[in-house]
Structure 1
Amino acid sequence: MAIRFPIVRPVLPAIDVYQKHVQAVFDSRWLTNSGPLHQSLEQRLAEYLGVEHLMLVANGTLALQVAYQALGVANSTKPVLTTPFSFAATASSIAWHGLQCEFVDINQSSLNIAPELLKPEQVDAASAIVATHVFGNPCEVEAIASKTAGRDLKVIYDAAHAFNCRLNDESILNWGDASTLSLHATKIFHCVEGGAIVFKELDDLLRAREMINFGFNKYQYPEQLGINAKMSEMHAAMGLSLLDTIDDIQAQRIEAVSTYQTELANEFEFQHWVDGSSNNGAYMPVLCRSEQQLLKLMENLLASGVQTRRYFYPSLSEVACYGHRGDTPLANEISRRVLCLPLYGDLTVEEVKQICQLVKEAL
């Protein structure tokens, strides 16, 4: 059966808009190393998102890794408290540095890390908390801030799904010591490949800017450990080409989510969004009654040309290479029941209704 409705389909700008930006790159022959397109996109994104200390990087995983390094977490011997219900990059970026993941269970309603399970002795013994805004749903940031106040650890938010998410009319990216974005092709807003970090403090931003350019200071001397994590001008060109239409892209995705939830209200449970925020249209997860129902639904939908994805499965605390540390029965159980339905920028309401009809038939 041919795929009629893929799980995701990257949005692309009008080709002439992209060509205009690419022509500027050809004219300048400035291909990377913080060129004019990179600088323009960085400034415009910061203004659009309502943040101050934003820097672009090559991808979302590097955004996490650079944040750990810039904040001093990467050099610590203490464990990092994190969520088991997230994409693999959340845990793998921690373990890649040789750091120990200590998983904390999630809230059954929001699917985010549960602040009430953060024990004082755990927090005191940790170097950082890395929490994910799951499917774009903001974490209980005030509760996490309260749990960590006055303690010597960093709070880093994996905001890969949280593009343009706001909590009480303020960007969710302004919480914590750093927040990281993925600008991968599958996201609401993308640069084909890309990422960004928003730092709370200017000094951390300036340190990170040197780190992503091999650790060179302004005299081209490597005074600290660095890596090459710079975004190219070609990738910045894609971002600039999409930024002018991002409101329309996101509005269509939000309308699709709303239609799904209306049409399937009697079939599934849905993630509950935190008070003071609204769904940003990043994903369309549903909670099946059981793993058996999920597997049968996937099979039946694929036979009808509808692609789905288990997102996120397995629970990261059950993956051997991440360490198996932490008691997370709720995340382990929920990870077996969550399924994501197709969602992309040009998915129409009529197409969503067709998918929903196929879901009901498949059930």
Structure 2
Amino acid sequence: MNSRDPTRLSQLRAEPVADQNIYVTRPHLPPLEELLPYLQSIWERRILTNAGPFHQELEQRLCEYLGVEHISLFNNGTIALITALQALHIEGEVITTPYSFVATSNALLWNGMTPVFADIDPVTMNIDPAAIEAAITERTSAIMPVHCYGNVCDVDAIEAIAQKHKLKVIYDAAHAFGVRDERGSILNYGDVSVLSFHATKVFNTFEGGAIVSHTPEMKLLIDNLKNFGFLSETSVVEAGINGKMSEINAAIGLLQLKHLAPALEERRAVARYYNERLPQIGGISVTAGNLSPAANHSYYPILVEDDFKLSRDALYEHLKTCKIFSRRYFYPLISDLKKFVDIPSSTPENLPQAHEIARKVLCLPIYPGLGEQGAQRVVEAIASASST
């Protein structure tokens, strides 16, 4: 195969990966020497947390980069999800997707809420608005969709349903850093959006997260909740939590922003490589989100169809023998996990599309530094499985 197209592959950093393990992702790290001045400043100021200078600067820079008005930094995305639900005073039932990382629904349990699972659209893999409408009861208080793999939910349909039934909307946007549509940042939809800055994400602060809100009043409430509920030095008005981001994590975030553009371009280059070659392998379907010009390429999911020579799980194991470690995101479904399987909405009959996608999906390695040689190894390993 031709692997020398400069218009498509020049951004792939070739690395000596022929005998190395290739994992589904690898954290992007800036040059270590560039971090040292930030650490020097922290040591000199001795401000380690509690919304220090780097914390405040990162909030400002992220608002500018993402095109949002208010952002509150957190120590991780799960605590951000838990706090977002608390800030909106949600209770009762919350309609959400079974096709996500377990933190989405764990946040509901932490707040004493009941997840109600609705099926997904098989093309976008996001929650299906028609299934949301069908799941609404008198106990429904909110909808918590996920922009899965960074694919934008049907935000207009969800907003119409929310307005019709007077429901809150909390977007789990853990995969969707920097994603925009024709109206701007998708983080501006819903009542709040929640981000993850975990090490595996497109933008990372080692560990971290954030809530995007739309009014100064909501930002203030969120900031109070993540600081134990303190309103002032002598007044605690909410049962808050310690969700603050440290100065070191904020400093890493500031440095990561400086290197984000080339890192994203390397992801795009890997995706283009896959997009051109994988459709040539019979029984492998490239999902629609991988082809979208708006994608941030946080993941690269494929579907292993029934006419492929191996089952999805057999291909998963075959890739391991090639030192390629893919992931079955998202399998099993949240609704099949022990804490959720007995919820009435968890039945397979209620979630046929989610079960079908979870049976076929496989996320391939994609990250800055994978390199042309690494991307080629992945494609050739899948091709070899199709001919065994």
| 1:86 equivalent in alignment to 2:100 | yes
User: Is contact 1:318–1:332 with CA below 8 Å preserved after alignment?
Assistant: no
Q: 2:320 aligns with which of 283, 302, 326?
A: 302
Q: 1:142 aligns with which of 156, 177, 182?
A: 156
The answer to whether the Cα contact below 8 Å between 1:111 and 1:271 also exists between their aligned partners in 2 is no
Q: Give the Cα–Cα distance (whole angstroms) in 2 for the partners of residues 16 and 262 of structure 1.
A: 37
Structure 1 residue 118 corresponds to structure 2 residue 135: no
Alignment of 1:324 onto 2:340: no
Aligned residue type for 2:360: R
Return the alpha-carbon distance in structure 2 between the equivalents of residues 112 and 184 of structure 1: 21
Q: Secondary structure at the match of 1:269?
A: strand
Unaligned 5+ runs, structure 1: none
Say yes or no: does 1:186 pair with 2:200: yes
User: Distance in 1 between the 2:280 and 2:343 partners?
Assistant: 36
Question: Corresponding residue for 2:259?
Answer: 245
Q: 1:6 aligns with which of 23, 40, 54?
A: 23
Identity %: 39
Shift of 1:71: 0.6
**Pairwise CA distance, 1:121:** 6.8
Contact 1:101 1:325 in 2 (8 A): no
Within the alignment, does 1:103 sit opposite 2:138 as a pair? no
In the TM superposition, residue 237 of structure 1 has moved relative to its aligned partner by 1.3
Letter of the aligned partner of 1:229 in structure 2?
Answer: G
**In the TM superposition, what whole-angstrom CA distance separates every residue of 1:137-165 from its partner, at most 9, and x where no partner exists?**
01000110111114332101100000000
Q: Residues 193-342 of structure 1: matches in 2 within 5 Å?
A: 193-267=207-281, 268-273=284-289, 278-290=294-306, 293-322=311-340, 323-326=342-345, 327-342=350-365
CA distance in 2: counterparts of 1:180 and 1:275, whole angstroms: 25
**Cα 1:206–1:47 shift into 2, 3 Å:** same
In 1, distance between residues paired with 2:273 and 2:151? Answer: 18
3-state DSSP of counterpart to 2:317: helix
Distance 1:220 1:343 in 2: 49
Distance 1:60 1:227 in 2: 13
198-207 vs 17-26, greater mean Cα deviation: 198-207
TM-score by length of 1: 0.95
Superposed CA deviations along residues 177-218 of structure 1, whole A, max 9, x for unmatched, are 000000000011100000010012332211111111111113
CA distance in 2: counterparts of 1:276 and 1:300, whole angstroms: 29
Among 145, 148, 164, the residue aligned to 1:131: 145
CA positional deviation for 1:271:
2.4
Q: Is the 8 A contact 1:25 1:233 kept in 2?
A: yes
- Deviation per CA, 1:304-332, whole angstroms, max 9, x where unpaired? 11111111111112223024332111101
Pairing 1:48–2:48 present? no
1:7–1:309 CA contact under 8 A, matched in 2 = yes
**1:160 partner letter:** A
- Structure 1 residues 274, 125: closer, same or farther in 2, change over 3 A? farther
Question: Aligned letter for 1:12?
Answer: L
> Structure 2, unaligned stretches of length 5 or more?
1-17
Structure 2 CA distance for partners of 1:274 and 1:205, relative to 1, 3 Å: farther
Contact 2:275 / 2:291 at 8 angstroms: preserved in 1? no
Distance in 1 between residues matched to 2:301 and 2:324, nearest whole Å? 15
Measured after TM superposition, the shift of residue 342 of structure 1 is 0.8
- String of CA shifts for 1:57-93, please: whole Å, max 9, x gaps: 00010110010000111xx2x2110001011111111
Deviation of 1:354 (Å): 2.4
Computed over aligned residues only, the root mean square deviation of the Cα atoms, in angstroms, reads 1.9
1 CA distance for matches of 2:112 and 2:202? Answer: 31
SS in 2 for 1:339: strand
In structure 1, the partner of 2:15 is: none
Report how far residue 168 of structure 1 moved: 1.1
Is it true that 1:152 corresponds to 2:154 in the alignment? no
In structure 2, what is the Cα distance between the partners aligned to 1:181 and 1:124? 29
- C-alpha displacement of 1:6: 1.4
Runs of 4+ in 1 over 3 A off after TM superposition: 273-277
Give, in whole Å, the separation in 1 of the partners of 2:111 and 2:119.
23
CA pair 121-207 structure 1, distance change in 2 beyond 3 A: same
Q: Is the 8 A contact 2:22 2:324 kept in 1?
A: yes
Contact 1:255 1:349 (C-alpha < 8 Å) held by counterparts: no
Instruction: Read off the aligned partner of 1:295 and give its amino acid letter.
Output: D
The answer to whether the Cα contact below 8 Å between 2:326 and 2:363 also exists between their aligned partners in 1 is yes
Residues 80, 2 of structure 1: CA spacing in aligned structure 2 closer, same or farther, 3 A cutoff? Answer: farther
